[in-house]
Amino acid sequence: MLRTEGAWSFLLPGFLARQPYAMLTISIVLLVQHTTGSFGLAGAVSATAGISMALIAPQSGRLADRFGQGAVLVPQVFLHALTVGALISAALLDAPLWALFATAVPAGATAPQISPMVRARWAARLQGSPLMTTAAAFESVTDEFTFVVGPVLATALCTGVHPAAGLAAEAGVSLVGGLVFAAQRRTQPTPVRRAAAGSGGRDEATGRAPQHADPATSALAVPGARVLVAAVLGIGMVFGGMQVSLTAFTESIGRPGINGVMYGVFAAGNMLAAVAVGAIRWKRGPQARLLTAYPGLVAAAALMALTAQLGPWAVLLGALGMLVGLCVAPCMITCFTLIETLVPAGARTEAFTWLTGAVALGQAAGSTVAGQLADHSGAGAGFLTPLAGTGLALLVLLTFRKALHPAHGGLVAARGLGHRTAVPVD
């Protein structure tokens, strides 16, 4: 996979540019909790940024499909740096609560969505190749390595330098990394508008005739995409619930400095499982794998929630956090593998962004619920949030599992959105 032509030109800048994604919500939680003293309020402000990100990110992905990734990303990173600066100022100047929420909205809305853009470049390069599963696993490893580094770095900056240092670093790295990534125009997927204007042109990345989508039609027109959004929403609640619950737990035992380490252990489990998923030659299809892996995630979340109610055992909770992380990766990777087979090429960036937006929305819901539970029922109560989110998502998966199978034996054909041409496979 790494020998794919042009891969390194977007992999390295993409790795730098995606680092801030794992720093944004935890940095908001730490800053707002420091200035207000409330985990519930900190979770609510973080949730506001997450909801804004989830609602706006798919629209920016849709614009990237139509006009090109660079054309969207450059103004976005400048706006993000300005809006994060406004949020920092509002928090440090003890501005009214409405000002915190008002500044959190644009801060989340302008967060650059690098991971979906990288995934869309892989999809354009590996279209129709079995290496797409490997690419999805590789991207999950990269994402989870980000979630190993990001929370630890944000916590260290906020607790060791200044409460606002985590957010300031997030804005700075977003700006520099985003501009470097946007400069790699040769490997970006051909914009739908430009491709549609040509007559019989070929995709620059793959050399194939491009598969087009009507720019006016959303990727969510595909029923299976909506089911995957619900599944990833539950995974997002695991991330959000774990962030706030671990923060409250480490505060309750008088060791706030280990918060980033415990969340990093959870993310490390996710990363290790992603390596395994990418290395295995799977004989079962992704639909069957998802319906097998998701109940395991629910069971792991239930075990951690039960343990958290019994006692403040940091080492045991850390080990169970790794177990939850090990169960997250197979579900997440399979969702991203499936979405690539369900939607047409011209809507890929939007489709990937819907999934990452659902993660952000789940994080927002998870951090809000976990924060309220931690404030009113104790630190251990917050760990019930991942269980509730994944349990509801599993119910949706089981009810609408037939929608996860592409129509016509694997060819994408979704109400005029385009289709894949069948090719022989060795």
Which pLDDT score, from 0 to 100, does residue 385 have? 93
Please write the tens of the pLDDT for every residue from 141-152: 787 677 667 777
125-139, 202-216, 224-238, 403-417: the lowest-pLDDT one: 202-216
DSSP one-letter code for 421: P
CA distance 248 to 317: 13
In 3D, which of 347, 217, 67 has the Cα closest to residue 75?
Answer: 67
Please write the tens of the pLDDT for every residue from 173-211: 989 988 998 888 888 887 766 444 444 444 444 444 344
Q: What is the DSSP string of 220-288?
A: GGSHHHHHHHHHHHHHHHHHHHHHHHHHHHHHHTT-GGGHHHHHHHHHHHHHHHHHHHHHS---S-HHH
- Which tokens belong to 282? 């799977």
Q: Hey, how many other C-beta atoms are within 10 angstroms of the C-beta on 398?
A: 11
- The yes-or-no verdict on residue 278 having pLDDT over 80 is no
Arithmetic mean of pLDDT over the chain: 81
CA distance 109 to 79: 10
169-173, 190-194, 332-336, 342-346: the lowest-pLDDT one: 190-194
Which pLDDT score, from 0 to 100, does residue 102 have? 92
- Which tokens belong to 28? 């908001």
